[in-house]
């Protein structure tokens, strides 16, 4: 177990290093001067030079990279060029929206997907199965930002149950949750559809295994065999997908936060892009990638909890 | 105790079982024998109420008066594991990999409400002791156990509630002979001590001959002959029984050719693998082959026997030049193939593999499959010439030249093995390596392939290296035999000598474990 | 000929409609999509404008047709990138299982998977300027590990089969075996995966152009049509609904086609039929 954890942790660290190099290279090393990109066409040479100094673009690539990483490790994410405030402050504000949104959406998606995936698998070939498969097929095909617009149209414009966007802050938790509900539903629906299909096929595969037949020979009913043996085995591929979905949720959140005008990390990165504020873009991207890699690591830990074969050694 | 009458079963409209009937008493072992597709496993699953969906069943199967076929699913659930236990062929996959063995044995008790969880674990301990696993703690997981141990766990779970009937469907087919002998002995002692009835289903006549009190021979969904084992084996009143018996003990007519010209020389060959990855480091390396030496002569048929994991497959791959060796030398026709096999040599040594289904690219026609080794020739025949060579090879293995435009899936298992032999013959090699080449075949098909091999050897003066775990087959087709254990050759000699007067303890153990058919002639006279 | 699965027929029909629309739009559209005509803006469906016009007076049907062209072209080229780079990498990894090449390819794959794909796509298009070709590149890069993984996963079990050993004893090298035996036998899976990635590509293209990082004006794209319609969703909801339907139906069609193809091409099912 310790050895497994160690290898996973090492792989986590390695992924982070390579990811940071890639992001750094994309933004700062590949030809094209970031400073002139940020300032646009009308920049004077003095202004550019000043900006380069401010951005720390004066040293060699290696020095700049180490400076950037060192800063990130100590909580210094640089200073936003447009907002003129430390990026770290911006990030702290915005995480309070993005993280709850991602967790909310992931919870919804799991709560929807597990039961319907299990029902579809255990009633394979019936109308319930066909209905669920058809519905999830549709769910996968719907772009989440369009679904978000439809939700706004129905629940905010027509029924007026929810507001069409904005975020009141966490001082009133209920209002905050309410503001996150439509975005979370919009994010969760396509993910739930994918997850339900994975759950179904994993469970069907598991139900064909020899040990299910052994369990049935011991006197377990079909339902008991599913609950006591098949589900936990089917969870292994499902966990992988949940891990991957976190990455999709983060990407989806960038767009959904824009639809609902939520002041989250996604909106921050997007504002950074439109305002050509590369410092914000670079640091927030790294943060998001860190979150995804961390979740992958947590999924690896979950494997070890589920599967004794990984705990060996 | 259990009486099956007129059991018939159809899947959709295709009849699979036709009027199957037998009965088994307490403390009795009943053997149900048949080749693949005879319906023997489906008979067992039907008794358990686990036949696949879409089957229609008629007839009766009374367990002490209760007709199993008339019970509801809920009633069958109460009965399974409780009154009837069952074990299956593949112990490696028969246990839930995520649960401890103790929990899986105890589950039989808890699911029927016969014990609390704590009591169930105590009983599970007792049952695991009973099947000879007293050295294994309850909290072990299946992946930590060998195949034989896992089959014991399955048996412990099946007998946890002392059922009246135990059904064992090919319980030892996936196991090595020595493990097979131990599992069979265990089953026998359970029957004798606990008085349960055992329905033993197998394709192996020798296994039932040594185990069963009474047997039934099944063919195409029907029982063609049944009675006390000795009587059925002695009388063989039904032609199918006779054919099955003859095929099981079949020895092809061979006239061994002895030319003391070494074609293949293996000299002190070592082959090891890097150990399994454990985190960043690798475990200790695995020594698969440790200093093996032998020689194969022209026209000779040399057997290589050993149990799974003994290193015979690794050795085979090294001889075929597919894997490197770490030290030692392999010479073919006097030329060394270490470290790399010279291109010209490969045409002289060809191979036939075990699996008649995995041996061919499903998208290739027979013509292209058989002529693939032409790749080895510097000037391969082309066009009509090539087709003529393929046609010759097909004729040599008693298939029709017209077969060359078909796809592999259009052939039966035996025919596919003939195609594999034709492919091996196409470059006119001197040596053919037969890697478990008849192990996956039914006995009747196996007998005909052995005849074909003997005939080809006589006609073409081939040398065979015959690798197998099956002692009966090795005895039938080889002149000399090598016995391999844990990467080493422990005994070597003329086949008859080694089999009749084995010297090494391991050879003795192997031979003692192998189930044997009583000789027909003795039984009849 | 066996009966085709209904999912395949329905899926091919659905995606076929949009493919044909895209092809037709190359030579003919009901109305030009570059001209702005304030006089005819925001018209309801009529005989001249079957689906009405948008806020700039452009014909909605024509916009959708040309938009199909953009979506399909971007997604198709991105799939092309994924297949042409991913499949050889996957085959090479499988042929050298456990070797350093396999290790490097698979670690690289894991790394790309660890990136939130759309975030990086946004990063690339943001840094190098939004354009259709950058969108293709960004989506295509994430298709590479997908195809590499599918190809490797499907090839690995084949490498243990006896016919591969037989080919090796026939003196064939790994490259030749990969080309002659492995690739034809995993082509089915690759085709199915290609339809799935195609549909994901259409979704990703829509998302990128929705945030303004896909094809640039005046080239119409479904995603940007949605973005532009968003402010008018209260007054003219149809402007937002129609492009969305186009996306959903195309993606649904492709996914159904993938499912249907899987049923037709699955060798296990075919063996059962033989």
All residues of chain C having their beta carbon less than 8 Å from the beta carbon of residue A145 are 207, 210, 226
Q: Taking residues A226-254, what's their average pLDDT?
A: 86
Which architecture, in CATH terms, is B1-83+164-249?
3-Layer(aba) Sandwich (3.40)
Looking at residue B481, its pLDDT comes to 95
All residues of chain B having their beta carbon less than 8 Å from the beta carbon of residue C184 are 361, 363
- Check whether B348 has a pLDDT greater than 50: yes
Question: Do A106 and A69 reside in the same domain of the chain?
Answer: no
Which CATH fold would you assign to the domain B259-514? Rossmann fold (3.40.50)
Domain annotation covers residue A214: yes
CA separation for the pair A183, A195 (Å, rounded): 18
Question: What pLDDT band is residue B229 in, cutting at 50, 70 and 90?
Answer: very high
Question: Do A263 and A201 reside in the same domain of the chain?
Answer: yes
Quote the Cα angle for C213-C216-C218, to 5°: 150
Question: What pLDDT band is residue B523 in, cutting at 50, 70 and 90?
Answer: very low
Domain annotation covers residue A270: yes
Pick from B376, B417, B422: nearest CA to B396: B422
Whether A157 and C230 lie within 8 Å, measured CB to CB: no
Look at residue B256 and give its three-state secondary structure: coil
- Residue corresponding to tokens 């930590």: B144
Q: Token digits for B69?
A: 């076929």
Quote the Cα angle for B394-B395-B399, to 5°: 65
C positions 12-71 inside 8 Å of A (CB): none
Q: Out of B94, B111, B279, name the one closest to residue A219 (CB).
A: B111
- Compute chain C's Rg from CA coordinates: 22
More confident residue, B516 or B347: B347
Is the distance from CB of B201 to CB of B44 less than 8 angstroms?
A: yes
Looking at residue B525, its pLDDT comes to 34
All residues of chain B having their beta carbon less than 8 Å from the beta carbon of residue C171 are 343, 346, 373, 375-376
- Give the lowest-confidence range in B223-227, B281-285, B314-318: B281-285
Per residue in A129-174, pLDDT (tens digit) is 999 999 999 999 999 899 998 998 888 888 888 887 888 888 888 8
Which regions of chain B carry the CATH code 3.40.50.300?
1-83+164-249, 259-514
Whether B353 and C171 lie within 8 Å, measured CB to CB: no
Select from B45, B75, B94 the residue whose CB has the most chain A CBs within 10 Å, as the one to mutate to test that interface.
Answer: B94
Whether B93 and A228 lie within 8 Å, measured CB to CB: no
Whether B279 and A213 lie within 8 Å, measured CB to CB: no
Number of domains in chain A: 2
Question: What pLDDT band is residue A52 in, cutting at 50, 70 and 90?
Answer: confident
Model-level pTM? 0.85
Whether C184 and B410 lie within 8 Å, measured CB to CB: no
Q: Out of C170, C184, C274, name the one closest to residue B376 (CB).
A: C170
Beta-carbon count within 10 A of A45 CB = 8
Q: Token digits for A96?
A: 């309070």
Residue finishing a domain among A16, A43, A73: A73
- Check whether A34 has a pLDDT greater than 80: no
All residues of chain B having their beta carbon less than 8 Å from the beta carbon of residue C107 are none
Domain annotation covers residue A79: no
Whether B343 and C274 lie within 8 Å, measured CB to CB: no
Q: Could you report the predicted ipTM of this complex, rounded to two decimals?
A: 0.84
Q: Out of B320, B350, B359, name the one closest to residue C163 (CB).
A: B359
Per residue in B93-129, pLDDT (tens digit) is 999 999 999 999 999 999 999 999 999 999 999 999 9
A positions 126-165 inside 8 Å of C (CB): 137-138, 140-143, 145-146, 149-150, 152-153, 157
Contacts (Cβ under 8 Å, ≥6 apart) of C227: C209, C210, C211, C212
Question: Do A182 and A301 reside in the same domain of the chain?
Answer: yes
Pick from C267, C249, C257, C107: nearest CA to C197: C257
Question: Do A35 and A140 reside in the same domain of the chain?
Answer: no
- Check whether B197 has a pLDDT greater than 90: yes
pLDDT above 70 covers what percent of chain C? 94
CA separation for the pair B139, A211 (Å, rounded): 18
Please tell me which residue of chain C has the smallest CA distance to B350.
Answer: C169
The count of residues in chain C is 274
Whether A150 and C241 lie within 8 Å, measured CB to CB: yes
pLDDT above 70 covers what percent of chain B? 97
Domain that holds residue A302: 88-312
Whether A217 and B107 lie within 8 Å, measured CB to CB: no
- DSSP state at residue B453: H
Q: Token digits for A134?
A: 């058809």
CA separation for the pair B177, B514 (Å, rounded): 6
Beta-carbon count within 10 A of B310 CB = 24
Contacts (Cβ under 8 Å, ≥6 apart) of A207: A121, A225, A226, A230
- Check whether C273 has a pLDDT greater than 70: no
Cα-flanking dihedrals φ and ψ of residue B258, to 5°?
A: -120, 105
Per residue in C160-169, pLDDT (tens digit) is 889 999 999 8
Q: How far is B369 from chain C (nearest CA, A)?
A: 9
Question: Do A176 and A291 reside in the same domain of the chain?
Answer: yes
Q: How far is C190 from chain A (nearest CA, A)?
A: 19
CATH number of the domain where residue A240 is located: 1.10.3720.10
Please tell me which residue of chain A has the smallest CA distance to B142.
Answer: A309
- Check whether B478 has a pLDDT greater than 90: yes
Please, is B525 exposed, middle or buried when counting C-beta atoms within 10 Å of its C-beta (0-12, 13-18, 19+)? exposed
- Compute chain A's Rg from CA coordinates: 24
Question: What pLDDT band is residue A59 in, cutting at 50, 70 and 90?
Answer: confident
Answer left, alpha or beta for residue A174, where phi above 0 means left and psi between -120 and 50 means alpha.
Answer: alpha
All residues of chain A having their beta carbon less than 8 Å from the beta carbon of residue B144 are 312
Question: What pLDDT band is residue C90 in, cutting at 50, 70 and 90?
Answer: very high
Domain annotation covers residue A159: yes
Strand-by-strand arrangement of the B301-305 sheet: B349-352, B431-435, B463-468, B301-305, B480-485, B488-494
CA separation for the pair B510, B501 (Å, rounded): 13
- DSSP state at residue B407: -
Domain annotation covers residue A229: yes
Question: Do A25 and A98 reside in the same domain of the chain?
Answer: no
Looking at residue B519, its pLDDT comes to 58
Question: Do A229 and A304 reside in the same domain of the chain?
Answer: yes
C171 touches chain B (CB under 8 A): yes
- Residue corresponding to tokens 């005939």: B455
Whether B73 and A309 lie within 8 Å, measured CB to CB: no
- Check whether C65 has a pLDDT greater than 70: yes
Please tell me which residue of chain A has the smallest CA distance to B81.
Answer: A218
Question: Do A16 and A120 reside in the same domain of the chain?
Answer: no
Q: Which of B377-381, C31-35, C114-118, C122-126 has the highest mean pLDDT?
A: B377-381
Question: What pLDDT band is residue B281 in, cutting at 50, 70 and 90?
Answer: low
Please tell me which residue of chain A has the smallest CA distance to C125.
Answer: A273
Q: What is the CATH number of domain C7-15+53-273?
A: 1.10.3720.10
């Amino acid at each position: 177990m310790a050895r497994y954890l160690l290898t996973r942790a090492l792989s986590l660290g390695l992924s982070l290093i390579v990811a940071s190099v890639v992001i750094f290279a994309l933004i700062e090393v590949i030809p094209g001067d970031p400073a002139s990109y940020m300032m646009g066409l009308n920049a004077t040479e003095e202004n550019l030079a000043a900006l380069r100094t401010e951005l720390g673009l004066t040293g060699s690539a290696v020095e700049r990279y180490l400076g950037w990483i060192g800063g990130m490790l100590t909580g210094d994410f640089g200073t936003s060029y447009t907002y003129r405030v430390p990026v770290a402050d911006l990030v702290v504000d915005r995480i309070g929206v993005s993280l709850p949104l991602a967790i909310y959406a992931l919870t919804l998606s799991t709560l929807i997907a597990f039961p319907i995936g299990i029902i579809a698998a255990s009633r394979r070939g019936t109308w319930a199965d066909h209905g669920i498969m058809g519905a999830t097929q549709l769910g996968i095909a719907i772009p989440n930002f369009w679904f978000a617009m439809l939700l706004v149209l129905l629940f905010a414009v027509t029924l007026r149950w929810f507001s069409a966007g904005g975020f009141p802050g966490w001082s009133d938790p209920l209002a905050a949750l309410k503001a996150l509900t439509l975005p979370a539903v919009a994010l969760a629906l396509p993910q739930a559809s994918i997850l339900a299909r994975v759950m179904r096929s994993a469970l069907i595969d598991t139900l064909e295994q020899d040990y299910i037949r052994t369990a049935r020979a011991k006197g377990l009913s079909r339902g008991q065999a599913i609950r006591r043996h098949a589900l936990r085995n089917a969870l292994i591929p499902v966990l992988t997908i949940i891990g991957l979905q976190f990455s999709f949720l983060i990407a989806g959140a960038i767009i959904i936060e824009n639809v609902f005008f939520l002041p989250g990390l996604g909106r921050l990165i997007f504002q950074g892009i439109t305002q050509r504020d590369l410092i914000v873009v670079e640091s927030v991207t790294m943060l998001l990638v860190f979150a995804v890699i961390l979740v992958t690591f947590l999924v690896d830990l979950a494997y070890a909890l589920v599967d004794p074969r990984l705990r060996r050694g | 105790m259990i009486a099956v009458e007129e059991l018939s079963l159809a899947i959709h409209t295709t009849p699979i079982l036709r009027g199957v009937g037998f009965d088994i008493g307490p403390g009795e072992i009943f053997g149900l024998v048949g080749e693949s597709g005879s319906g023997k496993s489906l008979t067992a699953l039907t008794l358990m109420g686990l036949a696949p969906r879409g089957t229609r069943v008629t007839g009766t199967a009374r367990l002490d008066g209760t007709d199993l076929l008339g019970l509801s699913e809920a009633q069958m659930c109460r009965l399974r594991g409780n009154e009837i236990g069952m074990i299956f062929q593949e112990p490696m996959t028969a246990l839930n990999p995520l649960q401890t063995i103790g929990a899986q044995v105890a589950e039989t008790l808890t699911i029927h409400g016969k014990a609390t969880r704590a009591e169930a674990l105590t009983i599970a301990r007792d049952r695991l002791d009973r099947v000879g696993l007293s050295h294994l703690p309850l909290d072990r997981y299946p992946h930590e156990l060998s195949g034989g141990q896992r089959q014991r766990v399955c048996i412990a779970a099946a007998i946890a509630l002392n059922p009246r009937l135990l059904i064992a469907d090919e319980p030892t087919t996936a196991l090595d002979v020595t493990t097979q002998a131990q599992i069979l002995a265990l089953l026998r002692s359970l029957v004798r001590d606990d008085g349960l009835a055992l329905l033993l289903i197998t394709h192996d006549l020798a296994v039932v001959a040594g185990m069963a009190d009474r047997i039934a021979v099944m063919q195409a969904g029907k029982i063609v002959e049944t009675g006390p084992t000795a009587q059925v084996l002695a009388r063989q009143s039904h032609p199918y029984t006779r054919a099955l018996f003859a095929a099981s003990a079949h020895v092809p007519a061979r006239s061994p050719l002895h030319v003391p010209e070494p074609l293949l020389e293996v000299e002190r060959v070592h082959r090891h693998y890097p150990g399994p990855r454990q985190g960043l480091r690798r475990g200790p390396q695995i020594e698969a082959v440790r200093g093996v030496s032998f020689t194969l002569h022209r026209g000779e048929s040399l057997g290589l026997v050993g149990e799974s994991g003994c290193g015979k497959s690794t050795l085979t791959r090294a001889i075929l030049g597919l894997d490197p060796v770490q030290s030692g030398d392999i010479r073919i026709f006097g030329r060394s193939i270490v470290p790399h096999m010279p291109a010209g040599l490969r045409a002289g040594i060809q191979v036939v593999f075990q699996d008649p289904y995995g041996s061919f690219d499903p998208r290739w026609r027979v013509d292209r499959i058989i002529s693939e080794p032409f790749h080895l020739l510097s000037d391969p025949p082309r066009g009509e010439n090539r087709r003529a060579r393929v046609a010759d090879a097909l004729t040599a293995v008693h298939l029709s030249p017209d077969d060359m435009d078909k796809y592999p899936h259009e052939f039966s298992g035996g025919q596919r093995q003939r195609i594999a032999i034709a492919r091996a013959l196409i470059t006119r090699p001197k040596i053919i390596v037969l890697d478990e080449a008849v192990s996956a075949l039914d006995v009747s098909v196996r007998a005909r392939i052995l005849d074909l091999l003997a005939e080809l050897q006589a006609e073409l003066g081939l040398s065979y290296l015959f690798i197998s775990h099956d002692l009966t087959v090795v005895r039938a087709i080889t002149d000399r035999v090598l016995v391999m254990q844990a990467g080493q050759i422990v005994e070597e000699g003329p086949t008859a000598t080694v089999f009749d007067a084995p010297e090494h303890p391991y050879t003795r153990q192997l031979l003692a474990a192998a189930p044997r058919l009583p000789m027909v002639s003795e039984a009849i006279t | 000929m066996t009966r085709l699965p209904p999912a395949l027929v329905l899926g091919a029909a659905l995606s076929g409609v949009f493919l044909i629309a895209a092809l037709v739009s190359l030579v003919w559209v009901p109305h030009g999509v570059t001209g702005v005509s304030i006089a005819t803006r925001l018209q309801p469906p009529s005989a001249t404008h079957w689906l009405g016009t948008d806020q700039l007076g452009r014909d909605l049907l024509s916009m959708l047709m040309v938009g199909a062209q953009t979506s399909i072209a971007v997604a198709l080229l991105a799939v092309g990138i994924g297949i042409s780079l991913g499949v050889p990498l996957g085959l090479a990894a499988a042929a050298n299982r456990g070797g350093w090449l396999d290790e490097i390819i698979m670690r690289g794959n894991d790394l790309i998977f660890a990136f939130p794909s759309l975030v990086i796509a946004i990063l690339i298009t943001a840094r190098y300027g939004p354009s259709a070709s950058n969108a293709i590149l960004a989506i295509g890069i994430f298709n590479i590990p997908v195809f590499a993984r599918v190809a490797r996963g499907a090839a690995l079990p084949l490498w243990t089969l006896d016919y591969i050993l037989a080919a090796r004893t026939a003196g064939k090298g790994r490259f030749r075996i990969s080309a002659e035996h492995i690739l034809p036998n995993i082509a089915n899976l690759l085709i199915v995966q290609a339809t799935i990635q195609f549909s994901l590509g259409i979704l990703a293209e829509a998302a990128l152009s929705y945030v303004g990082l896909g094809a640039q004006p005046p080239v119409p794209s479904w995603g940007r049509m949605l973005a532009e319609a968003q402010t008018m969703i209260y007054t003219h909801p149809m402007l937002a609904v129609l492009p969305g339907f186009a996306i959903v139906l195309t993606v649904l069609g492709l996914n159904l086609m993938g499912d249907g193809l899987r049923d037709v091409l699955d060798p296990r099912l075919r063996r059962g039929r033989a």
